[in-house]
Amino acid sequence: MPAITCVEDFRQLYKRRVPKMFYDYAESGSYTETTFRRNEADFQNLNIRQRVGRDITDIDTSALLAGEAANLPVAFAPVGMLGIQNAGGEIKVAKAARDFGVPFILSTMSICSIEQVAEATGQPFWFQLYVVKDRDFVRDLIHRAKAAGCSKLVVTMDLSILGQRHKDVKNQLSIRPNLKNMLNIATKPRWAMEMAATPYKSFGNVIGHAKGIDDISSLLTWAVEMVDPSLDWADVEWIRREWDGPIILKGIMDAEDAKIAAGMGIETIVVSNHGGRQLDGAGSSISWLPRIAEAVGDDMELMLDSGVRTGMDIFRARAQGASGVLLGRAMVYALGAMGQPGISHLLEILQKELRTTMGLAGKNNLASIGRSDVYSSRSDA
């Protein structure tokens, strides 16, 4: 086992251990992948001010995220098919998140169902909702999440049309692989044996719940046909009535949209371009964060995803106005590489990186981090 010192180490091990079509599913963006690459690159364009001569004996990385206490200002993002990256993946990440003290968000398109994750963890988690054409199914999902004790509903707003990822098309991505993919799977015996042994092999939130969806074959067609281009703000109001609890809107990338959400009484949004998987050519999440923060002021809490790979990135996001970040690909890398222990180690690495960064920037707590603590590498300090 190689020494794992950073997120990139997880990625390299993940690439070796998981079938190519599932690695490519996670490690890709839409069309030219410009936005996918921009998300990481724009973090690096933010320099952190180094400060000295301050007592940094005690450094506190705890935060409040959407009103919930967290030992680190991170939550695990909703990622579809997480249980394909590693057998029982959703449950493993949820347990590691519970033990460390950070939120976990379960995807609508998870392998393990809402009920299975709730039973395995025994603790509330957040649920992410895709709004599809079948509103009866959407209503049922909302009520199932409520019955399972989910504490937050995270509504994804930027999937009313599907961005194309060329790698998925070329790989003929499917839960039922073709001959080419089967040959690649044969080179991943650890993954294959674990997947053969796990009882979690289906899309537990959909199969047996959505109308006419009884197996994998019917689900794949349904997933494409059910994408709803009519999703609008009136639907958000309907969801609020059905849920009657805290709602987070994910996929906001414009100050005007953020102000609309604030005007509706939404208290938390996630500044996100879906990891560069939807609108290619969009700006990075981190570049839009300060503009949105300026537009909404103290009217709402901002979180951020897309491009976060280090504790330094977490610091940068806090400085630009985010209460915390969502980890998507970093989570997938760690899970695919090492399962639940990988997720626990990922959190330890990020906490150490964040603590070190805070100390060298002269910060004892997250609340003291502000806009003046970072500056663009294209400008003077």
**Residue-wise DSSP of 15-64:** HHHS-HHHHHHHS--STT-HHHHHHHHHHHTEEE----SS--S--B--EE
Mean pLDDT of 90-110: 98
Distances from the Cα of 22 to the Cαs of 87, 206, 239, in angstroms?
13, 20, 32
Give the contacts of 115 (CB within 8 A, at least 6 positions apart): 144, 148, 204
What was the pLDDT predicted at 1?
A: 58
Contact in structure between 289 and 307 (CB atoms under 8 Å): no
The whole-number average pLDDT for the span 86-95 is 98
Longest dimension (CA), the chain: 66
Distance between terminal CA atoms of the chain?
A: 42
The pLDDT value given to residue 215: 75
Residues with Cβ within 8 Å of residue 241, at least 6 apart in sequence: none
Give the residue with greater pLDDT, 179 vs 287. Answer: 287
Mean pLDDT of the chain: 95
**DSSP H or E segment with residue 120:** helix 114-121
Q: What percent of the chain has pLDDT over 90?
A: 88
Q: Report whether pLDDT(381) > 60.
A: no
- Quickly state the pLDDT bin for 213 (edges 50, 70, 90): confident
> SS3 of 376, please?
strand
Nearest to 363, CA basis, from 92, 54, 6 = 54
Contacts of 245 (CB under 8 A, 6+ apart): 146, 151, 152, 153
Contact 103, 75 (CB under 8 A): yes
Residue 151 dihedral angles phi and psi, to the nearest 5°:
-90, -20
Query: Quick one: average pLDDT of 352-357?
Result: 98
Average pLDDT of the segment spanning 137-155 = 98
Q: For residue 295, which of 257, 352, 246 has the smallest C-alpha distance?
A: 257
pLDDT the model gives residue 377:
77
Please confirm, yes or no, whether 209 is among the known catalytic residues.
Answer: no
Q: Are 171 and 20 in contact (CB under 8 A)?
A: yes
May I ask the CATH architecture of the domain 7-376? Alpha-Beta Barrel (3.20)
3-state secondary structure of 375: strand
pLDDT for res 312 = 98
Instruction: Say whether pLDDT at 179 is over 90.
Output: no
Tokens describing residue 104: 């976990």
C-alpha to C-alpha distance for 63 and 358, rounded to whole angstroms:
14
Q: How confident is the model at residue 212 (pLDDT cuts 50, 70, 90)?
A: confident
Contact by Cβ (8 Å): 298, 279: no
Give the mean model confidence (pLDDT) for residues 1-30.
Answer: 94
Please report which confidence band the pLDDT of residue 175 belongs to, taking 50, 70 and 90 as the band edges.
low
Q: Which position has the token pair 């047996």? A: 208
Using CA atoms in the order 294, 298, 303, 306, what is the torsion angle rounded to 10 degrees? 0
Cα separation of 154 and 64, whole Å? 17
What integer is the mean pLDDT of 120-126? 96
Res 219: pLDDT: 79
pLDDT score of 214 more than 90: no
The model's confidence at residue 4, banded by pLDDT at 50, 70 and 90, is very high
Q: Is the pLDDT confidence value at 379 over 70? A: no
The pLDDT score that the predictor gives to residue 37 is: 97
d(CA 193, CA 210): 30
Sign of CA dihedral 133, 288, 102, 313: positive
The pLDDT of 139-160, averaged and rounded, is 97
Q: With CA atoms as reference, report the closest residue to 132 among 237, 230, 204.
A: 230
pLDDT at 225: 86
Q: CA–CA separation, 358 vs 361, rounded Å? A: 5
The more confident residue out of 150 and 213 is: 150
Domain ranges of the chain: 7-376
Say if residues 279 and 319 touch (Cβ distance below 8 Å).
Answer: no
pLDDT value at residue 306? 97
Write out pLDDT tens, residues 225-276: 889 999 999 999 999 999 999 999 999 999 999 999 999 999 999 999 999 9
The secondary structure of 267-325 as a DSSP string is -EEEE--GGGTSSTTPPPHHHHHHHHHHHHTTSSEEEE-SS--SHHHHHHHHHTT-SEE
Residue from 143, 166, 209, 274 carrying the catalytic annotation: 274
Least trusted range by pLDDT, from 33-37, 65-69, 208-212, 295-299: 208-212
